Amino acid sequence: MSDEVFGNRYRPERHLARGGMAEVYLARDALLDRPVALKALFPELSADRNFVERFRREAQAAANLNHPNIVSVFDWGEQDNTYFIVMEYVDGPTLRDLLRHEGRLHPDRVADIGAEIAAALDFAHRAGVIHRDVKPGNVLLSPTGQVKVTDFGIARAARDAGDNLTQTGTVMGTATYFSPEQASGGAVDARSDVYALGVVLYELVVGQPPFAGDSPVAIAYQHVREAPVPPSRHNPDVSPAFEAIVMKCLAKNPANRYASAEELRADLLRFRQGRPVVAEPVLDMGAAETRAQAAYDQGTRVIPAATTGVTPSPAPRARTAPYVVLLLVLLAALAVLVFFLVRSLGIGSNTATVAVPDVVGKPQAQAEQLLQQTGLRATVHQQQDADVKAGTVISADPKPGSKVDTGSNVTLNVSSGPATAVVPYVLGMTAADAANKLIAAGFQVDTVPPDAASDGIVRSTSPGPGAQAPQGSTVKITVASPTTTTEAPTTTTQAPTTTTTEPLTSLPLAPPTSKP
């Protein structure tokens, strides 16, 4: 393999790992003289046209995810009927390696790691990409400690490829990190990634995942029907606040989880700052009540039938579950009745009320400080706004001046700045084609020199390809005359005379016909 050059550009130097779908190599990019990670798909996958088409689309989507916590995808191509993907090389361990060497981690460290993973997931979700296979093996740590999430969308490509992958025994995702909806064949969305991240957080602080079994079906059954043991029972260092965050992620019903990875990230940051978290504390119910509540939350959904034997809960316990749930509902109703009775009699009605301070237009930190000084709590929701400076409060709910009880929660809608987009790769295109592509991506175009011919070749862009820039901002393209001999566009070294692999956007929609 070391003598083979992929795409006339990438030469494998050392074997790194063998994954569920590919061999992974440390390779050298001859054009830019840098190390890259090269994944060469197994031959049986390359022979599946459905998989190759899905893989191409997912690789293109992943290539547009330019984020500091996401492993960048540089290129994609085919070499002698072997399909490959070229990615950023991260010279560091995976979280799986970290667990093997260190065992369980302190919750503070796990919260820091989880916040970075959540940031990566939220960025991908906003771009319409669901990971579907969040697990310790897909999270790397750079030499500086930065978290990097890899393999976005690859699990979907495998899932959609059809029976060929099943027949070859290829591993398609990991049941240990399946959400209940994945395990039962339901629809998958961003909250499925939140669940999987919850499993990872649980495993990092406990040293083992919440569910284990002799087969993937047995594990999937537990994801759907069983409630996880609270992590504090395994690790006394786990605080009620951190446990509440993890257990909210692991809710069977997606509606009971964090609505987005950004909401999860915000709660993890609150935990690290010593502030109250949004997640509710875990009730210390008995084992039977816990299982009954989990079954009640999930409703009547079941996992697909399987040939391996999984012993269901004993019939007597199943028959008692509705009565346990009914008892809990009656107790809750009684508590609400007592609460309103006490209030109607005026008992304990001396709760102080305060006015919500005017925080609109103030920086987020100052607004939160004002609320705290007033005796109120803040929940921050980020929203894009081209007219309001990033980090500034757009509005508050309840509105400023409203009378509320001390300790009430005030939602701050904070600007995250204008919507951004990824600058597409247009190097080597004609000026006209490049301008059309940039305009389609939401940018304005400034050509240098201004009178450049429309068939001139684009040598560089500012901002560069893959950079995040505000939508509507101007991208400057530098154009060379089509009659002028120039070296290939690069930022570090002179390009070799060999032909480079086509950019992702110009790849064929289907694999080429195999040579006889």
Going from the N-terminus, what domains does the chain have, and what CATH number goes with each? 10-88 (3.30.200.20), 95-159+172-273 (1.10.510.10), 354-415 (3.30.10.20), 420-479 (3.30.10.20)
> Residue 379, SS3?
strand
| CA 287/CA 279 separation, integer angstroms | 21
* DSSP H or E stretch at residue 147: strand 147-149
Known catalytic membership, residue 133: yes
Neighbours of 289 (CB within 10 A): 17
Q: Which two tokens stand for residue 398?
A: 């309840």
Q: What angle do CA 136, 138, 144 make, to 5 degrees?
A: 85
For 327-353, b/e burial (b = at least 16 CB within 10 A) is ebeeeeeeeeeeeeeeeeeeeeeeeee
| CA 201/CA 198 separation, integer angstroms | 5
> Residue 335, SS3?
helix
| CA 463/CA 476 separation, integer angstroms | 7
Give the global pTM. 0.56
Q: What is the pLDDT of residue 60?
A: 75
Q: What is the pLDDT of residue 352?
A: 77
Q: Which one-letter amino acid corresponds to residue 188? A: V
Measured N-to-C along each axis, helices 190-206 and 261-272 cross at an angle, to the nearest 10 degrees, of 30
Burial status of residue 516 (CB atoms within 10 A of its CB: 0-12, 13-18, 19 or more)? exposed
| CA 509/CA 73 separation, integer angstroms | 18
Q: Which two tokens stand for residue 302?
A: 């079941």
Query: Beta strand pairing status for 393-397 and 403-405?
Result: unpaired
Q: Which two tokens stand for residue 245?
A: 């965050």
Distances in whole angstroms, Cα of residue 401 to Cα of each of 279, 359, 397, 406:
28, 10, 11, 14
For 85-113, b/e burial (b = at least 16 CB within 10 A) is bbbbbbebbbbeebbeeeebbebeebbbb
Phi-psi region of 7 (alpha: psi -120 to 50; beta: other; left: phi over 0): left
Handedness of CA 394, 397, 403, 409 (dihedral sign): negative
Burial status of residue 512 (CB atoms within 10 A of its CB: 0-12, 13-18, 19 or more)? exposed
Give the position of tokens 């005796």.
375
Question: Which of the residues 75, 133, 151, 193 is marked catalytic?
Answer: 133
Please report, in tens digits, the pLDDT of each residue of the chain (516 residues total). 556 888 889 999 999 988 777 889 999 999 889 999 999 888 888 777 777 777 777 677 778 888 999 998 888 888 887 888 899 999 999 999 999 998 899 999 999 999 999 999 999 999 888 888 899 999 999 998 899 999 886 645 444 444 333 333 333 347 899 999 988 888 889 999 999 999 999 999 999 999 998 888 889 889 999 999 999 999 999 999 999 999 999 999 999 999 999 999 999 999 999 999 999 887 643 343 344 344 434 444 444 444 444 444 444 444 555 555 566 656 655 654 554 454 444 444 445 788 999 999 999 989 988 998 888 888 777 777 778 888 899 999 888 998 888 878 788 888 877 877 888 888 889 999 999 999 988 899 999 887 777 788 998 999 988 887 888 889 999 998 765 444 444 433 333 433 333 444 333 333 444 333
The answer to whether 442 and 466 have CB atoms below 8 angstroms apart is no
Q: Cβ neighbours of residue 487 under 8 Å, at least 6 residues apart?
A: 494, 495
Query: Beta strand pairing status for 474-480 and 457-462?
Result: antiparallel
The answer to whether 66 and 73 have CB atoms below 8 angstroms apart is no
| CA 19/CA 448 separation, integer angstroms | 46
Give the position of tokens 């993973």.
117
Q: Which two tokens stand for residue 216?
A: 């993937």
Neighbours of 2 (CB within 10 A): 11
Q: Cβ neighbours of residue 255 under 8 Å, at least 6 residues apart?
A: none
Which residues is 404 bridged to in the sheet?
354
Which residues is 392 bridged to in the sheet?
363
Q: Which two tokens stand for residue 148?
A: 């990097």
Q: What is the pLDDT of residue 327?
A: 66
Q: Cβ neighbours of residue 169 under 8 Å, at least 6 residues apart?
A: none
How many helices and strands (H and E) does the chain possess? 15, 17
Neighbours of 150 (CB within 10 A): 23
Q: Which one-letter amino acid corresponds to residue 105? A: L
